Amino acid sequence: MAQTDTTAETASCERIDGISSPALLENYDTFLLDMWGVMHNGSEPYSGVLQAVEEFKKAGKKMVILSNSSKRRENSEKMLVKLGFNPSDFDNIITSGDVSHSLLQNNADSLGCQNWDVLTNLINQKKQNVFVFGSGDEDEVYCTSAGWTLTSIEEADLILSRGTFTINDGTTIISKKENEAEYWKVMEESMVKAAQRKLPMLVSNPDKVRPDEGLPPMPGAIGDTYERFVWTTHCPPVADMTEEKAREYVKRIGKPFQEVYDIALGEGDRSRAIMIGDALETDVVGGSRAGVDSLWVVNDGIHGKDVDEKGADGVLDDFNGNEFTYAYGKKVTPRYLTDHFQW
């Protein structure tokens, strides 16, 4: 039953008053940290976060940032510095964009995760033409530096979903900001053509919405839409196509999927690691999939407004009742919850 008292403890997980709780400090050595929604709001760090990082460092805890940003690690380092953090305080900074860039070169194993067989086969066959749903921020450089050439949807061997602002075929860039109607028209047409050809898609940011006003869509939403195009009547015949099989055509890199956790944790003891995040669909589901506990930060980030209205129980119940999430119908429960990432 939903509760409006946001200080009430959910029936399914333990509330802690701050990350100085013995429940965390005594039981965990490795802390996997989300950035946006836990450490900062996109423009400034949340109150107390800088101190929390410093205290973790003093306690000798291993801190690994897991960011679903579709950009390279260097961008996240610059963001941390801008916000007043010292990137060297963290044992590793892993971004979806960095891991995806390695997959595009077929060398993700050097980071500590598996390559995608689909990409391996394309690269071996020298089929490296890509059609890009982009961020508008160095999309072409991102691809060409990994050995890929931007091209039309008719000639593409792969679709890359790294943003929801532009569509780039190497010749023409369609901007949603400049012509939104054309952007959506070309996106749908491209999805249909790609689904008919059964092109694979690499999603370099699995987030479905951005934690801004109105929750605007993110690349993960493009991946979901493309899956539906692949297994619905947009690409007949569909007799041998199921929703589960359609997922094989879309590779998502980042939380809640395996690769970033494999890089972060390696062969370490996962019972001594904990994921700290604000998003149930990526952070908490990701922790569950990776075999680590999770701490759900409820008052900041993507669920903050809903928690104010429904309480943490209500938000968790709604999430677990939704079949269309990365949990794929499986119920998840964070081990702990707290209001803010504060000491």
Alpha-carbon span 190 to 170, nearest angstrom: 14
Distances (CA, A) of 65 to 30, 36, 46, 126, 129: 11, 11, 16, 34, 31
Give the per-residue pLDDT at 1.
Answer: 30
Give the per-residue pLDDT at 3.
Answer: 35
56: tokens are 């973790």
Give the per-residue pLDDT at 6.
Answer: 39
Give the per-residue pLDDT at 307.
Answer: 92
Tens of pLDDT, residues 117-163: 999 999 999 999 999 999 999 999 999 999 999 999 999 999 999 99
Alpha-carbon span 135 to 68, nearest angstrom: 14
End-to-end CA distance of the chain: 30
Alpha-carbon span 108 to 106, nearest angstrom: 6
Give the per-residue pLDDT at 4.
Answer: 36
76: tokens are 């996240």
Under-70 pLDDT residues of the chain: 1-12, 211-215, 233-239
Give the per-residue pLDDT at 8.
Answer: 41
Give the per-residue pLDDT at 242.
Answer: 78
What is the Cα 51 distance to its own chain's centre?
Answer: 26
CB neighbourhood size of 50 (10 A): 18
Q: Regarding beta strands 92-95 and 62-67, do their DSSP bridges make them parallel or antiparallel, or are they unpaired?
A: parallel
Give the per-residue pLDDT at 239.
Answer: 60
| Average pLDDT, rounded, for the chain | 92
Alpha-carbon span 186 to 196, nearest angstrom: 15
Give the per-residue pLDDT at 212.
Answer: 64
Give the per-residue pLDDT at 235.
Answer: 59
Alpha-carbon span 204 to 250, nearest angstrom: 11
Residue 135 near residue 128, CB atoms below 8 Å? no
Alpha-carbon span 223 to 196, nearest angstrom: 16
Residue 133 near residue 186, CB atoms below 8 Å? no
